[in-house]
Structure 1
Amino acid sequence: MAISAEPSSSLSFTSSSNISNGSISHKLSSASEVPSLEVISLNKLSSNLELLLVDSSYDYSDAEVIVEGIPVGIHRCIFAVRSRFFHDLFKQDKGDSEKEGKPKYCMSKLLPYGKVGHEAFLVFMNYLYTGKLKPFPMEVSTCVDNRCPHDACGPAINFAVEMMYASSIFQMSELVSLFQRRLLNFVGKALVEDVIPILVVAFHCQLNQLVSQCVDRVARSDLDIISLEKELPHEVVANIKLLRPKSQNNDEQNLEVVDPLREKRIRRIHKALDSDDVELVKLLLSESNITLDEANALHYAAAYCDPKVVSEVLGLGLADVNLQNSRGYTVLHIAAMRKEPSVIVSLLTKGAHASELTLDGRSAVSICRRLTRPKDYHAKTKQGQEANKDRICIDVLEREMRRSPMVGDASISSPLVADDLHMKLLYLENRVAFARLFFPTEAKLAMDIAHAETTSEFAGLSASKGSSGTLREVDLNETPIMRNKRLRSRMEALIKTVEMGRRYFPHCSEVLDKFMDDDMNEMFYLDKGTLDEQRIKRTRFMELKEDVHKAFTKDKAGFNHVGLSSSSSSSSLRDGLKNKVPKF
């Protein structure tokens, strides 16, 4: 009786001994039936072995591996036949047994370097049992930034790095090849600081191609040597130094010749910080002409030192808490990368601006979100346990953004403002657009002072006037860095416009604050909604007109010497609203 096999299979194993001089149909039959039977048997075996992992009624494990404090039951026979590492381990080490309990092996003792987390070990273990690689768990391989595609964020890279460590240390060569390809794909996409953990794992796992790609990427970047020396092996840093003068982007790197004595003094300050000796730092400052800002001492402390040291350095009052380093990062950006709540809070209490952006348009909270896993962000803390640091960092920064979302000292609060550069620009463009509608003369004066007209408008509400919906021309030759610089320039001009409005027209600004906070722009569409909704909108609109008139009158009374004309703004307001709002 012939065995009926499934015709669809992605695998095909054809032995040359099965090919004879018979008919083509015989050869096709032999080539299809036997491999299909093998595939069916292998799939069934894989599924049966997977029951040992997913079904508690099949728990016949004879040992445990402790990963991040969590015991994971394993079957030593399967581990030993699948991995030479575990075969040798079980022969030489019987594990830590408690009386008649199962032998226990601590993951941290099995690793000569690096880290393999609980979820990464379960994915690796599933491959050992089934021969199939499961999709990475979303809660540990993605970040909590909902705008992120998760193709090169911190958690995605770190999980792949953990899988590479496990594959290399536990001697699974096919997985090493697979994850080397994945990490190579990350190198070109990731932020250069996120390439560092890839370079570290490539170096320890002796993946020469991956090392070469990472070294080339870092050498072409503007990462400073001091940071590289803190985070990379000495010989890797030496290779980067050799490549840097040959880089194509020398003009983008801080490669100017420095005074050796000055560099030596800066390094002494950093070493004093490493030793938690702030008194020595004060002494070194007094003996040299180097300042804390010139040494980027606060940046260094926020990245590598104990939180107490950061607080003590801040207490000296000698450093600019909002200073940008050569890469455009403030101290708060560095603290967000570290995700240490006490450091972030210390900086904020000393006046750090949560809304300051990096050159590529990231704020401290967006940096923090891109580095935080959903598992950590949503982790529930039991009473008496230490609070989740990842969640605290994001919550603290978000509260600060809501309290003072704009760069600078002006406190502009709006629920519409997010931590994204585009959202800030959209809010500012809308706010200035409504200012020009309600108070055209005052708005023009504020924009003239801020030189806002010299910057290109961002496509916000003010760019959508008219029914044609004409799109702004896109310069295809504009690089992302150039575009971000242009947007930052526009944002700074708009922020200054708002600040000028607050300074010289405070009552008008209060009206705009209320208008933006209450999302009252819906009232401009008075013919939309039910009759009751339309009636409410008309009432609110009349109240707004009254508020606008009172605000302008108050500000005019205080600034008559400027020569502003009441009729100018009033008539412009009437004309603007006449065109904007349907008659009723």
Structure 2
Amino acid sequence: MADSYEPSSSLSFTSSSYTNGSQSCNMSTSSASEALPSLEVISLNKLSSNLAQLLVDDGCDYTDAEIIVEGVSVGIHRCILSARSRFFHDLFQKDEKPLIEDSKPKYHMDELLPYGKVGYEAFLILLSYLYTGKLKSSPADVSTCVDNSCAHDACGPAIDFAVQLTYASYIFQIPELVSLFQRHLLNYAAKILAENVIQILVVAFHCQLGPLVTQCIDRIARSDLDSVSLEKELPYEVAESIKLVRLKSQSGDEQNLVPDISPCDKRIKRIRQALDSDDVELMKLLLSESDVTLDEANALHYAAAYCDPKTVSEVLNLSLADINLRNSCGYTVLHVAAMRKDPSVIISLLDKGAWPFDLTLDGRTAANICRRSTRPKDYHAKTEPGQEANKDRLCIDMLEREMWRNPPTTDSSILSLAMADDLHMKLLYLENRVAIARIIFPTEARLAMDIANADTTSEFSGLSIPKVSNKNLREVDLNETPSMQNKRFISRMQALMKTGYSCLTFSFFVS
């Protein structure tokens, strides 16, 4: 940082200000020394506040240039940025763009970055720091997810925003922030899922953050992530470093580190290369000439993660793979598609029988995966007429609608406590819809409920319905196991949804 202050030099005037003895002089000097740092703090805070007004004051626009970030124009003051960042100093100094009369020079963020991206909110935080010297907290709508059960300390948006801030600090040459954000990413890398470490490793490699690169490589090397996927998502030298670490740990012989690629691995790689080329016919030919199956190659997982949606559909139509197969990390094809968040891929899988209730090893459904990788800003974004639908919300809605439409049968595998809570909330929603129906249309609702054999027990004040035979959802039975509780919830939900009369009653209020 160029800013430095030397309070001691400003005290030289005190030695000649008093002549009433050395003791008096020393006391005055001591008092001034104590008062001056406070004055400096006040002055610096005032300066910071005044400069902050330049970013928020719409009354007078003193900006002399603009940077376009995600389609939004951000006004900047080149003199301030030049003084605070060597990157901007060099950028504005070499800029030879001819100025149009009454126009400001414009810069596009995408053109300033050699790779990757920096979003609007991340850039505003960096800009605020350059103006004020103070780091603002991350806005919740871009640094948290829409899963209410998430602590937001290691979800997708939180990691992505930290990665953006680290990258922007490096590109704009703000070393103190690079050091700060690297420590944050080191904490993330130690506790997040291995597949989420990949994006941290990418930015660490490009920003030359040695300690972070080492920790991420070690973490991924000890995971079950397959080498072919790492080659798709990581720079070549990084992927090779991970393979080398794995070979060392497996062989223990540093002299013989030549990877042993089996014939089966070679065939699997060729099958995936055919998928990369969207050549399903070539893939079928490779399958017919070898003893490798689509399941052994995890071809559906690979296609759902990296291939064109049309290719995914064509592979599904072959009916040669188990759509609910789990890979080495315990993910089904639908889990992988939820990470990608492509609506067309998800709907193709659901149409072919992908089971939305399947849980990952850490207890997440595909809908949970989507929610934990979706920002509130994207989920709640309004879609104007004629615009493309919001993909993030569309993926979540499709998966949750499928879970509502086809609840698991009572003999399904034991669900997690989180799933039980989710079923509980869905059941409350259905029951209270019916409670409203019984108030507004009592005769029709009663007929529908009699046919469905479902009695409502609303938990909202003002909508209390007499309890008949079924147990109140809020009652606690210490002898009831989680499995028994799940079966009770599912049975009740099926009773609410199984008749046409009930569905007709719901449609009056959902529509």
Name the amino acid aligned to 1:375.
K
Q: What is residue 212 of structure 1 aligned with on the other side?
A: 214
Residue 384 (structure 1) shift? 0.4
- Aligned pairs for 1:7-46 (under 5 A) are 15=8, 26=28, 28-46=30-48
Q: What is residue 348 of structure 1 aligned with on the other side?
A: 350
Q: What is residue 138 of structure 1 aligned with on the other side?
A: 140
Check 1:312–1:22 CA distance in 2 against 1; reply closer, same or farther (3 A cut). Answer: farther
Query: Residue 143 of structure 1 contacts residue 371 of structure 1 at CA under 8 Å; is this kept in 2?
Result: yes
SS in 1 for 2:59: helix
Is 1:275 aligned to residue 277 of structure 2?
Answer: yes
Deviations 1:163-187 (A, max 9, x none): 1111101111111111111111111
- Aligned pairs for 1:35-184 (under 5 A) are 35-95=37-97, 100-184=102-186
Query: 2: distance between equivalents of 1:69 and 1:179?
Result: 26
Check 1:162–1:542 CA distance in 2 against 1; reply closer, same or farther (3 A cut). Answer: closer
Residue 162 (structure 1) shift? 0.6
Check 1:47–1:16 CA distance in 2 against 1; reply closer, same or farther (3 A cut). Answer: closer
Q: What is residue 319 of structure 2 aligned with on the other side?
A: 317
Deviations 1:92-140 (A, max 9, x none): 1245755542111111011011110011111111111111111111100
Name the amino acid aligned to 2:285.
L
Residue 69 (structure 1) shift? 1.2
SS in 1 for 2:370: helix
Residue 221 (structure 1) shift? 1.2
Is 1:422 aligned to residue 424 of structure 2?
Answer: no
Query: 1: distance between equivalents of 2:470 and 2:65?
Result: 76
Q: What is residue 191 of structure 2 aligned with on the other side?
A: 189
Residue 58 (structure 1) shift? 2.9
Query: Residue 365 of structure 1 contacts residue 397 of structure 1 at CA under 8 Å; is this kept in 2?
Result: yes
Name the amino acid aligned to 1:244.
R
Query: 2: distance between equivalents of 1:207 and 1:111?
Result: 18
Query: 1: distance between equivalents of 2:162 and 2:38?
Result: 33
Check 1:392–1:22 CA distance in 2 against 1; reply closer, same or farther (3 A cut). Answer: farther
Check 1:263–1:543 CA distance in 2 against 1; reply closer, same or farther (3 A cut). Answer: closer
Query: 2: distance between equivalents of 1:22 and 1:292?
Result: 91
Check 1:97–1:225 CA distance in 2 against 1; reply closer, same or farther (3 A cut). Answer: farther
Deviations 1:505-526 (A, max 9, x none): xxxxx99x955xx55599xxxx
Query: 2: distance between equivalents of 1:191 and 1:296?
Result: 20
SS in 1 for 2:353: coil
Deviations 1:53-95 (A, max 9, x none): 1110131111111111111111111111111111111111245
Q: What is residue 359 of structure 1 aligned with on the other side?
A: 361
Query: 2: distance between equivalents of 1:88 and 1:266?
Result: 49
Deviations 1:133-155 (A, max 9, x none): 11111100000011111111110
Percent pairwise identity:
64
Structure 1 vs Structure 2 CA RMSD: 3.3
Moved more, 13-22 or 186-195: 13-22
Deviations 1:258-291 (A, max 9, x none): 7621111111111111111111111111111111
Query: 1: distance between equivalents of 2:113 and 2:415?
Result: 40
Query: 1: distance between equivalents of 2:138 and 2:388?
Result: 28
SS in 2 for 1:15: helix
Query: 2: distance between equivalents of 1:187 and 1:109?
Result: 29
SS in 2 for 1:56: coil
Query: 1: distance between equivalents of 2:464 and 2:402?
Result: 35
Query: 2: distance between equivalents of 1:116 and 1:359?
Result: 33
Determine which of 261, 266, 274 is the counterpart of 2:268: 266
Query: Residue 457 of structure 2 contacts residue 464 of structure 2 at CA under 8 Å; is this kept in 1?
Result: no
Query: 2: distance between equivalents of 1:66 and 1:96?
Result: 18
Name the amino acid aligned to 1:422.
L
- Aligned pairs for 1:492-571 (under 5 A) are 518=455, 520=457, 536-537=466-467, 540-541=468-469
Deviations 1:212-234 (A, max 9, x none): 11111111111111111111111
Check 1:166–1:427 CA distance in 2 against 1; reply closer, same or farther (3 A cut). Answer: closer
Residue 423 (structure 1) shift? 3.8
Residue 15 (structure 1) shift? 3.4
Q: What is residue 235 of structure 1 aligned with on the other side?
A: 237
Check 1:365–1:420 CA distance in 2 against 1; reply closer, same or farther (3 A cut). Answer: farther
SS in 2 for 1:57: coil
Deviations 1:1-38 (A, max 9, x none): xxxxxxxxxx9976388599968855652332111111
- Aligned pairs for 1:318-333 (under 5 A) are 318-333=320-335
Residue 420 (structure 1) shift? 8.0
Query: 1: distance between equivalents of 2:152 and 2:420?
Result: 25
Q: What is residue 222 of structure 1 aligned with on the other side?
A: 224
Query: 1: distance between equivalents of 2:226 and 2:314?
Result: 25
Check 1:22–1:381 CA distance in 2 against 1; reply closer, same or farther (3 A cut). Answer: farther
Check 1:83–1:427 CA distance in 2 against 1; reply closer, same or farther (3 A cut). Answer: closer
Check 1:355–1:60 CA distance in 2 against 1; reply closer, same or farther (3 A cut). Answer: same
Moved more, 175-184 or 370-379: 175-184
Query: 1: distance between equivalents of 2:102 and 2:60?
Result: 20
Check 1:391–1:533 CA distance in 2 against 1; reply closer, same or farther (3 A cut). Answer: closer
Q: What is residue 446 of structure 2 aligned with on the other side?
A: none
Q: What is residue 481 of structure 2 aligned with on the other side?
A: none
Check 1:134–1:420 CA distance in 2 against 1; reply closer, same or farther (3 A cut). Answer: farther
Tell me the matched-pair count.
426
- Give 5+ residue unaligned stretches, structure 2: 16-21, 253-258, 425-448, 473-511
Query: 1: distance between equivalents of 2:144 and 2:245?
Result: 33
Name the amino acid aligned to 2:417.
H
Is 1:371 aligned to residue 373 of structure 2?
Answer: yes
Query: Residue 65 of structure 1 contacts residue 106 of structure 1 at CA under 8 Å; is this kept in 2?
Result: yes
SS in 2 for 1:133: coil
Name the amino acid aligned to 2:357.
S
- Aligned pairs for 1:383-532 (under 5 A) are 383-406=385-408, 410=409, 421-425=416-420, 518=455, 520=457
